[in-house]
Amino acid sequence: MDISTIIVFVVIIIVGFYGVTIYNGLVALKHSVSKAWSNIDVLLKQRHDELPKLVEVCKQYMGYEQDTLEQVISARSSVFAAREAGDVGKLGAAETLLRKGLGNLFALAENYPELKANENFQHLQQRITSLENTIADRREFYNESVNLNNVRIEQFPDVVIARWFSFGARDLLEFSQEEVQDVNLKSLFN
C-alpha cells in the first residue's frame, strides 16, 4: 500500500467521523426541541384542566360578566385545538387571546370582594398564575432550542448533513404584541 492510498483512506475516515459527529449533534438538537415542546405541552394540559374550575367559581359571583367568562372558555378551546394539532403559530395566537381573557377575568374579580375572598378562587388564581409563569419560562427554553436548531441546520458544513437527512427548521412559539401589554383596567370598568 503506497502513501497516497493511506492518506486518502485517512481523509475518508476523518470526513466520515466528522459527518457522524455533525449528524449526532443535529439529532441531539432535534430531540432537545421535542423535549422543550413536551414540557410546554404538559403545562398547557395542566392549565387546560384548571380553567373550567376557575370559570365555575367565577360564575357563582360574576353572573353578568358572561362575555369575559365565554372569552376565556373560547380561548381555552382554541389553545387545546392548536396544541393537539401541533401548530405552533396558531398556538401563539390562541395563547395571546387566553392570556388576555385571564387578565381581564382577574382584573374584573377585583370588583367582587366575595369572589376575591373565596378560598377556591384564590387557590386557582395562584395555581394558574404559577402555570403561566412556568409556561413563559418553558417557552423561552423552547425558543432557544428552536433557534439553536435553526441556526445549526443552516451553517456549513452542517447544512449538507441536515439536507441529506431532512432535518428541518422549527417554528418559534411567539405571542402577539398584546401579550406583553398590560391589561387596560380603565376600559374594563367603563
Q: What is the pTM of this model?
A: 0.75
| 141, 34 contact by CB (below 8 A) | no
Domains of the chain: 3-188 (1.20.1440.20)
Show pLDDT as tens, one digit a residue, over the chain (190 residues). 789 899 999 999 999 999 999 999 999 999 999 999 999 999 999 999 988 888 888 877 777 677 888 888 899 999 999 888 888 888 888 988 888 888 888 888 888 888 878 888 888 889 998 998 999 899 999 999 999 999 999 999 999 999 999 999 998 888 765 544 544 444 444 4
| 150, 66 contact by CB (below 8 A) | no
What is the spatial distance between Cα 175 and Cα 95, in angstroms, rounded to a whole number? 7
Cβ atoms within 10 Å of 22's Cβ, excluding its own:
19
Alpha carbon dihedral 38, 40, 45, 46, in 10-degree steps, equals 120
